[in-house]
Structure 1
Amino acid sequence: MTGDLPDFYFRIRENGAAVFKVDTENRQRRIEMEEIAIVNVKNGNIKPHGDRKLSPEELDAINIWLSERLALLAARDVDDILRAVDHMNLTTQWAQSKATDEQLEKVTDPLLLAMHDLRTVLVRKKADRLMKAGDEESGGK
């Protein structure tokens, strides 16, 4: 089992991870993990643990993990939004076929405000993208 372990372990935290170097080559043949750094996915900062100097191999492993983590988080963001679209469709079906007047009274205003806010942002962002695409097509004139 220990032969299959990675050289580094990343303990996920709120804004990144604590990075540990995995060691199985010790006298007791136990798994030891030494904390070597903290990684922040929001700003890309890598802070070595204590007075440690990170080796090029360690920095490479951390940077690879960071780029893979950012890609995973971006994919999860899109997936979450697509799930929200599904949920909106289910909410529409509920409102049309199952909701009582009392339930609709409770949810209508908050839903309408949230939908109005979302629509406003989406329309503005779409207009910005269209303007940018038009500028690029015309050569930035």
Structure 2
Amino acid sequence: MSGDLPEYYFRIRENGAAVFKVDTENRQRRIEMEEIAIANVRNGNIKPHGDRKLTAEETAVITDWIARRSAILTARDVDDIHRAVDHLNLVTQWAQSKASDAQLEDVTDALLLAMHDLRSVLVRKKAERLMSAEPTDD
């Protein structure tokens, strides 16, 4: 089993991960994990743990992890939006076919304001994209 373990373990945190070096080559043949750094996905910073100096290999492994983690989080954000679109469709179907007057009264204002806010942002962003894509006449 110990041969299958990765050399580094990343304990996910809010903004990144605590990075551990995994050691199975010890006398007791136990798994030991030494914290070596904190990796921040938002700004790409790598902060060594304590007085430790990171090797070039450790820094490269952590930098690679940050890039892969950022890609995963970006993909999740887009997937969440696609799920939100599905959920909006389900809400529409609910409002049309199942909702009582009391239920609609409870949620209508909040939904209308949220949808108005979203529409305003989407229209503004679309206009900005269209304006930046137009060739300029100089």
CA RMSD for the aligned pairs?
Answer: 1.0
Partner of 2:86: 86
Partner of 2:71: 71
TM-score (norm: length of structure 2): 0.97
Partner of 2:47: 47
| Post-superposition offset of 1:42 | 1.1
- Please give the per-residue CA displacement for 1:74-130, whole angstroms capped at 9, x wherever unaligned: 000000010000000000000000000000000000000000000000000011111
- Give the SS at the match of 1:20: strand
Partner of 2:4: 4
- Give the SS at the match of 1:81: helix
* Structure 1 runs not aligned, ≥5 long: none
Cα distance in 2 for partners of 1:139, 1:117 equals 30
Counterparts in 2 of 1:140 and 1:55: CA distance versus 1, 3 Å: farther
Counterparts in 2 of 1:2 and 1:74: CA distance versus 1, 3 Å: same
Counterparts in 2 of 1:77 and 1:140: CA distance versus 1, 3 Å: farther
| Post-superposition offset of 1:140 | 7.6
Misfit runs of 4+, over 6 Å: none
1:130 aligns with 2:130: yes
TM-score (norm: length of structure 1): 0.95
| Post-superposition offset of 1:18 | 0.1
* Structure 2 runs not aligned, ≥5 long: none
Cα distance in 1 for partners of 2:58, 2:137 equals 44
Partner of 2:14: 14
Partner of 2:103: 103
- What residue identity is the alignment partner of 2:95? A
**Identity within the alignment, %:** 76
- What residue identity is the alignment partner of 1:73? L
